[in-house]
Chains A and B, each alone.
Chain A
Amino acid sequence: MADVKDRLASALLLAAIAAASPTGCSQRMPADSGELVIAFPGAPVSIDPRLSTDAYGTQILQMTHASLIRMDAAGNPLPDLAEGFEARSPTEVVFRLRDGVRFHDGRELTSADVRDTFAWILNPRNRSPHRSTYETIREIETPDSRTVVFRLSEPFAPFLAGMVRGIVPAGTRAAGYSPPIGAGPYRVDDYEQDTAIRLSRFEGYHGGAARIEQVVVKFLPDSNVRFLELKKGSVNLVLNGVEPDLIPAVLENGNLVMEEAPGSNVSYLGFNLRDPFLSDARVRRAIALAIDREAIARTLWKGHADLADSLLAPGFWAHDDKIPPLRYDPAAARRLLEAAGYRDPDGDGPKPRFRLTYKTSQNELRRRIAAVIQEELRQAGIAVEIQSLEWGTFFSDIRKGNFQLYSLTWVGIADPDIYHYAFHSGQTPPEGANRGGYRNPEVDRLVTEGRRETSREKRKKIYGKVQQILSRDLPVFPLWINRNILVRDRRLTGFVITPDEDYASVKEMTFRKGKEAGK
């Protein structure tokens, strides 16, 4: 992995500069006595920062645990526990901890806690799923209680991104569901697995105590129940948990308001390029032309979705803005299929040109979308059979490349290097995520070059080319990006919607007084 060396060094320098800017409230604000009740559409698997990989666990940890640094929406590091850091060399990074940071139990947070957190993850006996992220750490040194030195075995660009891991006190054992204490703005009072977690403000938080005293997160998998809890007022903040069709009904009672902001998760239709029909780019393009994405975004998503033209969201720095748009054109789709030699045996009659199966998870929304795509492809003369499978089975089939068509969503793309993982010919299963078996020497060359290149400008050009080629070859068809939808009590202010659904801004939230609420 020598190709990432230079990128690391420049990233660290940038970071050191960004770290100089101050954050946190220096003066204490008056406390809010109200209770913030958040609903999640699911329950976390683990809320130990050293083990948690699921989205809900991560979101809770954003409220309860502090890390060396944080990342802003654009991917730039911000200081958190570390007041600054510097890369002495591409393989040696030094963090300086803030003075007087305390854990929830009053213990002081020192360099030993930082070292121990990462040492625990790296210990194979603890089987942390995060170990691969830190495998390049050769040594962690703590010359004094406020300095941590990481020595790497080789330069590793994602190292800094890995420093957002929450720090736990040295010697904390993994205790399943009983969450370890942290140094974040909220402490865990009570955790009822699969039901709710209660948090209360940590007065000694190093960034200044949060404004709202009590935060409850309820885990409500049923969309009707989330709707009813909001209606009743027993939940007052939901991010991406209200179905677009229900938003007008939920806002009826006047206490709730809706905000939306662009998202970053791209839904796509995957093709198996080893399939005799789908190996033909004309067939793939015909399928893309036959799907009316505008109609789906307008109706099923009620406009709360943006059409995608690449795996990268339009706001992302490496996104290519000059990809020719692919518009719904059923006539062109039929012409392409004819040209590819697939004649419709009986015109508009029931006989199809050919048959495909479409795999999807058992999720109701995905089934609904599958039914729309099926119907639109039927009109183009392609018979589609939907196989809605239980998640474990579905994911296993997709990862093995056992499918013709499928649909999934890419979550958490932080770097265009995703193109190497998803489209390089060496990344076919079981190694990487090139599940459709796409092979293009030009793309192979570009995505390898993109990893080596350190200049953002040049990388943007390289990945621009990649996106152009992929929009022509269509090994996957990018569908849309759902917008992040926040429904909240109108008195609650301060929550910042980020593309990656970060809950760190909860500590800045406050209840506005009744009188101001009218406006």
Chain B
Amino acid sequence: MRRYLFSRLRQMVPVVLGVVTVVFLLIHLIPGDPVEIMLGESALAAQKEELRRELRLDRPLAVQYGDFLLGMAKGDLGTSFRSREPVLREILRRVPATLLLSAASMTVALCIAFPLGIVSAMRQHTFLDHLCGFLAMLGLSMPNFWLGPLLILIFSIGLGLFPVSGYGTAGHLVLPAVTMGTGMAAILMRMLRSQLLEEIRQDYVRAASARGLSRRAAVVRHALANSLIPVLTVMGLQVGALLSGSIITETIFSWPGVGRLTIQAIDARDYPLVQGCILFIALCTVAVNLLTDLLYSRLDPRIRYE
């Protein structure tokens, strides 16, 4: 087990390197000049040249790439063009907000997906099942930039329960988390339902029922555990989407997360910051996927029974 973990950790290195390299190439190759964006309309050509030299943007791409890798190896992600802060500090400042929102959204998603998924599977083809299916569709087909303002209108303006936007208290967290969580809940719920249905039909659940275990107990005790693998896969996939896909929700609710920082960095062609943000997202995603893989072997009874 420990050896497996070690080898997996070692495998993370080329993955992260791969992401960083692709990002480096993409951000440098798309049009747009950070110097022009920084200095604005009226800057003189000579001044732009000077800044380009200072930022070392005049050197060959390969040299810049080498510098970047070297810095990264030393734990130095460089300095943001835009804010002049160390990129690391800039990202760390955003990490709490990002993790908070991601965790809250995931919690919302799970809190919706599990009860609805289980009810839906156990009462297949009933009104309840259809209702849950309808809710899932609703969650899935509403874009966040539409759902967000709607939630604000109902819960903030109408009922006065939460602040409209901002960051700081627990109240601020609810609406963005629900906005982000619903779409994910729909995906998880459908996946859970279909997996549960498959497991319920398996012999061991029938056998458990035959042994006198209640159907619900059988489902919860056995079928659920076996259904978790594909659900977990999807969840792992969603975490990556959560981190980088939160741009729209963060924009609507003025949430100071990494997603918005990334898009602002891309807008400003702030190369070190873009690379730093994406490195952070990559590390998180890789870590979550590693965790998912490790959980596979824990959760799959077939592997355990061998």
Residues of A within 8 A of B (CB): 45-46, 51, 53, 124, 127, 129, 131-132, 174, 176-177, 192-196, 218-222, 224-225, 228-229, 231-232, 234, 390-393, 395-397, 399, 421, 430-431, 433
For B256, the chain A residues whose CB sits under 8 A away are: 192-195
Instruction: Kindly identify, within residues 182 to 200 of chain B, every residue whose CB is under 8 Å from any CB belonging to chain A.
Output: none
Shortest CB distance A56–B (Å): 12
For A193, the chain B residues whose CB sits under 8 A away are: 93, 256
Give 7 closest A-B pairs by Cβ, nearest first.
A392-B32, A176-B85, A224-B149, A194-B256, A396-B31, A222-B252, A396-B32
For A219, the chain B residues whose CB sits under 8 A away are: 254
> What total count of A-B pairs have CB within 8 Å?
120
| Contact between A129 and B164, CB atoms less than 8 A apart | no
Instruction: Kindly identify, within residues 218 to 259 of chain B, every residue whose CB is under 8 Å from any CB belonging to chain A.
Output: 251-256
Given A231-B157, A399-B36, A433-B41, is A392 in contact with B266 using a C-beta cutoff of 8 Å?
yes
Shortest CB distance A264–B (Å): 16
Residue A46 contacts which of B31, B41, B83, B255 (CB distance < 8 angstroms)? B83
For B267, the chain A residues whose CB sits under 8 A away are: 390-392
Taken residue by residue from 101 to 122, chain B's Cβ proximity to chain A (1 for < 8 Å, 0 otherwise) reads as 0000000000000000000000
How far is B174's CA from A480's CA once the two chains are assembled, in angstroms? Answer: 42
In the assembled complex, B207 has its CB within 8 A of some CB on chain A: no
| Contact between A132 and B83, CB atoms less than 8 A apart | no
For B178, the chain A residues whose CB sits under 8 A away are: none
For A222, the chain B residues whose CB sits under 8 A away are: 145, 148-149, 165, 251-252
Interface size class of B (residues with CB under 8 A): 35 or more
How far is B36's CA from A425's CA once the two chains are assembled, in angstroms? Answer: 21
| Contact between B36 and A232, CB atoms less than 8 A apart | no
Shortest CB distance A297–B (Å): 26
Q: Interface with A: B43-51, B59-67, B131-139, which one? A: B43-51
How far is B32's CA from A224's CA once the two chains are assembled, in angstroms? Answer: 30
| Contact between A392 and B254, CB atoms less than 8 A apart | no
| Contact between A195 and B166, CB atoms less than 8 A apart | yes
Q: List 29 A-B contacts (CB under 8 A).
A: A53-B38, A132-B43, A174-B84, A176-B83, A176-B90, A177-B85, A192-B167, A194-B255, A194-B256, A195-B254, A222-B165, A222-B251, A224-B252, A225-B165, A225-B252, A228-B152, A228-B153, A229-B165, A232-B157, A232-B164, A234-B164, A390-B267, A391-B267, A392-B37, A393-B30, A393-B31, A396-B33, A399-B33, A433-B41
| Contact between B93 and A228, CB atoms less than 8 A apart | no
How far is B256's CA from A97's CA once the two chains are assembled, in angstroms? Answer: 40
Residue B40 contacts which of A53, A231, A390 (CB distance < 8 angstroms)? A53
Shortest CB distance B68–A (Å): 19
Residue B83 contacts which of A45, A131, A391, A397 (CB distance < 8 angstroms)? A45
How far is B118's CA from A442's CA once the two chains are assembled, in angstroms? Answer: 80
Closest to B260 in A: A194
Most buried by A among B31, B43, B157, B168: B31
For A124, the chain B residues whose CB sits under 8 A away are: 50, 54
How far is B256's CA from A218's CA once the two chains are assembled, in angstroms? Answer: 12
For A176, the chain B residues whose CB sits under 8 A away are: 80, 83-85, 89-90
For B253, the chain A residues whose CB sits under 8 A away are: 225
How far is B165's CA from A124's CA once the two chains are assembled, in angstroms? Answer: 40
For A397, the chain B residues whose CB sits under 8 A away are: 31
Closest to B82 in A: A45
| Contact between A225 and B31, CB atoms less than 8 A apart | no
How far is B267's CA from A53's CA once the two chains are assembled, in angstroms? Answer: 15
| Contact between B255 and A395, CB atoms less than 8 A apart | no
Taken residue by residue from 136 to 172, chain B's Cβ proximity to chain A (1 for < 8 Å, 0 otherwise) reads as 0000000001001100110011000001111110000
Known: A176-B89, A220-B254, A225-B152. 8 other contacts (CB 8 A): A45-B83, A127-B54, A132-B42, A194-B255, A195-B254, A218-B165, A225-B253, A392-B266
| Contact between B51 and A229, CB atoms less than 8 A apart | no
Closest to B34 in A: A392
For A127, the chain B residues whose CB sits under 8 A away are: 51, 54, 84
How far is B51's CA from A218's CA once the two chains are assembled, in angstroms? Answer: 32
| Contact between B255 and A195, CB atoms less than 8 A apart | yes
Shortest CB distance A203–B (Å): 26
In the assembled complex, B17 has its CB within 8 A of some CB on chain A: no
How far is B51's CA from A232's CA once the two chains are assembled, in angstroms? Answer: 46
| Contact between A234 and B163, CB atoms less than 8 A apart | yes
In the assembled complex, B22 has its CB within 8 A of some CB on chain A: no
Shortest CB distance A115–B (Å): 22
For B264, the chain A residues whose CB sits under 8 A away are: 194
Shortest CB distance A262–B (Å): 23
Most buried by B among A127, A195, A234, A390: A195
For B31, the chain A residues whose CB sits under 8 A away are: 392-393, 396-397
How far is B39's CA from A220's CA once the two chains are assembled, in angstroms? Answer: 25
How far is B264's CA from A256's CA once the two chains are assembled, in angstroms? Answer: 32
How far is B38's CA from A46's CA once the two chains are assembled, in angstroms? Answer: 11
Residue A196 contacts which of B50, B51, B83, B166 (CB distance < 8 angstroms)? B166
For A228, the chain B residues whose CB sits under 8 A away are: 149, 152-153, 156-157, 164
For A430, the chain B residues whose CB sits under 8 A away are: 45
| Contact between B36 and A396, CB atoms less than 8 A apart | yes
Given A177-B83, A391-B267, A392-B31, is A129 in contact with B149 using a C-beta cutoff of 8 Å?
no
Closest to B89 in A: A176
| Contact between B266 and A132, CB atoms less than 8 A apart | no
Closest to A126 in B: B84
Shortest CB distance A473–B (Å): 23
How far is B254's CA from A135's CA once the two chains are assembled, in angstroms? Answer: 38
How far is B47's CA from A224's CA once the two chains are assembled, in angstroms? Answer: 40
Closest to B35 in A: A129
How far is B295's CA from A108's CA once the two chains are assembled, in angstroms? Answer: 63
| Contact between A221 and B255, CB atoms less than 8 A apart | no
How far is B265's CA from A193's CA once the two chains are assembled, in angstroms? Answer: 14
Residue A229 contacts which of B85, B93, B164, B268 (CB distance < 8 angstroms)? B164
For B42, the chain A residues whose CB sits under 8 A away are: 132, 421
Residue A393 contacts which of B32, B163, B164 (CB distance < 8 angstroms)? B32
For B54, the chain A residues whose CB sits under 8 A away are: 124, 127
For B85, the chain A residues whose CB sits under 8 A away are: 176-177
For A194, the chain B residues whose CB sits under 8 A away are: 254-256, 260-261, 264
